Amino acid sequence: MRTILYLLQKEFIQIFRNKTMLPIIFILPIVQLIILVNAATLEMKNIDIVVVDNDLSTSSRKLTAKFEGSKFFNVNEFTFSIEKAKQELLKNEADIIINIPSGFEKDLFSQEKTKIQLLINAINSTAGGLTNFYATMVISDFNKNIISENINILPLKSYKNINVIPKFWYNPELNYKIYMLPGILVILVTVIGMFLSSLNLVREKEMGTIEQINVTPIKKYQFIAGKLIPFWIIALFELAFGLIIGKLLFQVPMIGSLFLLFGFASVYLLVMLGIGLFISTIAENQQQVLFINFFFLLVFILMSGIFTPVESMPDWSQKVNIINPLAYFMKVIRMVLLKGSAFNDIKKQFFSLLVYASIVLSLAVWRYRKVV
């Protein structure tokens, strides 16, 4: 134990003397957290509209005003030419075209129905679907207003409306930042645990200092513990600091137990440190480590459910995702912080990561060769 403490002291001194590593540990995560939480969002705002109004009636103007009054849409241009509007769509200067045909108001009151054409840029299928949904809701609201305003003019019929009063649990204001911050925080903690730990060990190889350590009586487990524990502590510190920023700047709720969250994070970091250690044992230099880390981290992030639920992925990817540690932590941190989940709710993920950590650390220690 005394030997490990000396090694830890040596590692912390080495880390704090490294002017390249210090900004990566303490400055970049904070900057990235603040920027990415505001930038990485699936919310659709400022949807650009071109209105083709060939009716120029009171009703068509009211419909246009509905879109202008929405916080989601920007009416950028009015035109009579559908071809000109399509050019705006092709140039990516418009997201949706609303084509109001001639006779729109006449058909609305005489035939009690009319047609409107929506042409939507759906290169991004998610954005296209949301644009269609928002536009349909605006048109539906316009239709209800027409009925209520002209109930005495239109033929008397029995209009039955279903009143839906939604109640949103865990995120009542539908604030997307609350959803994104825990996910981005998981990625930043992972970078500390996986990237820096593997780079630190390989750096010893490049400098030649690892050969000096290998000929000492220090046992293999003592050397590995001395290398990994500092980054385990630093990553937990980053998690705590990120949660403080989330609370102060983004008002992220912390309904569940922080003790439970840090307990789970401790096991998760053992997995990531083990993966980083394993990568460092098969790489000869820092460049190789970066490429291998980038490959695994990119796959892990895209399949972790940071933007879309894992349950929405194909069946084969959900089965493959069982080896993705980010998917476990990404789900648990949101469950604990936003839903207040207890240990019984996350025990499956906890014990899965515990087994994962045992396997990957054992494999990494076995793979590491200490030549005396």
Among the residue ranges 191-195, 286-290, 306-310, the one predicted with the least confidence is 306-310
What's the order of all strands across the beta sheet hosting 117-120? 73-79, 47-53, 96-100, 117-120
- Please compute the mean of the pLDDT values over residues 188-207 and round it to a whole number: 81
183 and 141 assigned to the same domain: no
In whole numbers, what is the pLDDT of the chain averaged over residues? Answer: 83
Given a contact cutoff of 8 angstroms between Cβ atoms, the answer to whether 327 and 313 are in contact is no
Measured between alpha carbons, how far is 2 from 43 in angstroms, rounded to an integer? 53
pLDDT band at 160 (very low <50, low <70, confident <90, very high): low
- Encoded tokens for 71: 């916080």
User: Of 133, 149, 165, which one is at a domain's C-terminal end?
Assistant: 149
Q: 250-269: per-residue pLDDT in tens?
A: 888 899 999 999 999 999 99
Cα atoms found within 13 Å of the Cα of residue 294, Cβ hemisphere only: 6
User: Of 130, 149, 168, which one is at a domain's C-terminal end?
Assistant: 149
pLDDT for residue 156: 47
69 and 86 assigned to the same domain: yes
Which position has the higher pLDDT, 296 or 148? 296
Would you say residue 166 has pLDDT above 80?
A: no
Q: 327-341: per-residue pLDDT in tens?
A: 999 999 999 999 999
94 and 206 assigned to the same domain: no
Angle between helices 325-334 and 343-367 (to 10 degrees): 150
pTM: 0.79
Measured between alpha carbons, how far is 332 from 235 in angstroms, rounded to an integer? 17
pLDDT for residue 255: 92
pLDDT for residue 345: 93
pLDDT for residue 265: 95
96 and 237 assigned to the same domain: no
pLDDT band at 42 (very low <50, low <70, confident <90, very high): low
User: Of 110, 131, 149, which one is at a domain's C-terminal end?
Assistant: 149
Candidates 144, 139, 142, 93; CA nearest to 118 is: 139
pLDDT for residue 329: 94
SS (H, E, C) the chain: CHHHHHHHHHHHHHHHHCCCHHHHHHCHHHHHHHHHHHHCCCCCCCEEEEEEECCCCHHHHHHHHHHHHCCCEEEEEEECCHHHHHHHHHCCCCCEEEEECCCHHHHHHHCCCCCCEEEECCCCHHHHHHHHHHHHHHHHHHHHHHHHHCCCCCCCCCCCCCCCCCCCCCCCCCCHHHHHHHHHHHHHHHHHHHHHHHHHHHHHHHHCHHHHHHCCCCCHHHHHHHHHHHHHHHHHHHHHHHHHHHHHHHCCCCCCCHHHHHHHHHHHHHHHHHHHHHHHHHCCCHHHHHHHHHHHHHHHHHCCCCCCCHHHCCHHHHHHHHHCHHHHHHHHHHHHHHHCCCHHHHHHHHHHHHHHHHHHHHHHHHHCCCCC
Q: For the domain that residue 66 is a member of, what is the CATH number?
A: 3.40.1710.10
224 and 353 assigned to the same domain: yes
Measured between alpha carbons, how far is 88 from 82 in angstroms, rounded to an integer? 10
Would you say residue 314 has pLDDT above 90?
A: no
Would 168 be classed as within a structural domain? Answer: no
Would 133 be classed as within a structural domain? Answer: yes
pLDDT for residue 357: 92
123 and 219 assigned to the same domain: no
337 and 269 assigned to the same domain: yes
36 and 60 assigned to the same domain: no
Which position has the higher pLDDT, 308 or 153? 308
Phi, psi of 25 (to 5 degrees): -80, -45
Phi, psi of 78 (to 5 degrees): -115, 140
Residue carrying the six token digits 């933007």: 307
Would 249 be classed as within a structural domain? Answer: yes
Percent of the chain with pLDDT over 70: 90
Would 170 be classed as within a structural domain? Answer: no
Its domain, for residue 60, covers: 47-149
Which range has the top average pLDDT, 79-88, 170-179, 343-352?
343-352
Would 74 be classed as within a structural domain? Answer: yes
Which position has the higher pLDDT, 105 or 255? 255
Measured between alpha carbons, how far is 86 from 285 in angstroms, rounded to an integer? 53
- Classify burial at 132, counting beta carbons within 10 Å of its beta carbon; exposed 0-12, middle 13-18, buried 19 or more: middle
Would 300 be classed as within a structural domain? Answer: yes
Would 94 be classed as within a structural domain? Answer: yes
233 and 356 assigned to the same domain: yes
pLDDT for residue 367: 80
Measured between alpha carbons, how far is 92 from 99 in angstroms, rounded to an integer? 18
How many separate domains does the chain show?
2
190 and 239 assigned to the same domain: yes
Measured between alpha carbons, how far is 181 from 334 in angstroms, rounded to an integer? 9
Q: 340-370: per-residue pLDDT in tens?
A: 999 999 999 999 999 999 999 888 888 876 5
29 and 62 assigned to the same domain: no
25 and 60 assigned to the same domain: no
Would 198 be classed as within a structural domain? Answer: yes
pLDDT band at 325 (very low <50, low <70, confident <90, very high): very high
User: Cα–Cα–Cα angle for 230, 232, 238, nearest 5°?
Assistant: 100
